[in-house]
Amino acid sequence: MENSFVLLFPETFYSKLTVNTLHFIHTNVENPLRVGFVAEQLNVSAEHLIRVFKKDTGLTPRKYINKVKMEQAKSLLKESNLSVGKISTSLGYKNRDHFCRLFHSMVEQSPRKYKSAHRLAEKQKTQCV
């Protein structure tokens, strides 16, 4: 799958730190990302990063990281034949159960049900054409 991305927020009024953070998150979505690590890579304190990022986007970096990872997971579940375990690993999660709990809390469906529902919908769509 191509590693391109669409930012979940427009960049127009963001500080340079927030733009750099968004870029770092999107280009490293397949890695385990901790806010402290991101801040370290951008040469700022975690507290400063959280404060500036939240002011600009309305979300903490952690919530944004989770959102980006879950959007990527949804794409992979719909478009690939990868297992839930392989998808969780490909997004930097070491614990499949943690990934599944997080996915369920954000999408309100388990990854397996999400995959099945979208595969069924796609199958029905192709039968109607």
At residue 21, what is the residue type? T
pTM reported for the whole predicted model:
0.82
Question: 32 or 121, which is more confident?
Answer: 32
Task: Kindly report, residue by residue over 32-81, the tens digit of the pLDDT.
Answer: 999 999 999 999 999 999 999 999 999 999 999 999 999 999 999 999 99
Share of residues in the chain with pLDDT > 90 (%): 78
Of 35, 100, 30, give the one whose Cα is nearest residue 69.
30
Token pair of 13, please? 């009024």
Residue 121 has pLDDT above 90, yes or no: no
Of 42-46, 49-53, 93-97, 119-123, which range is least confident? 119-123
Domains of the chain, start order: 16-128 (1.10.10.60)
Q: Distance between CA 28 and CA 48 in Å, rounded?
A: 21
pLDDT attached to residue 1: 38
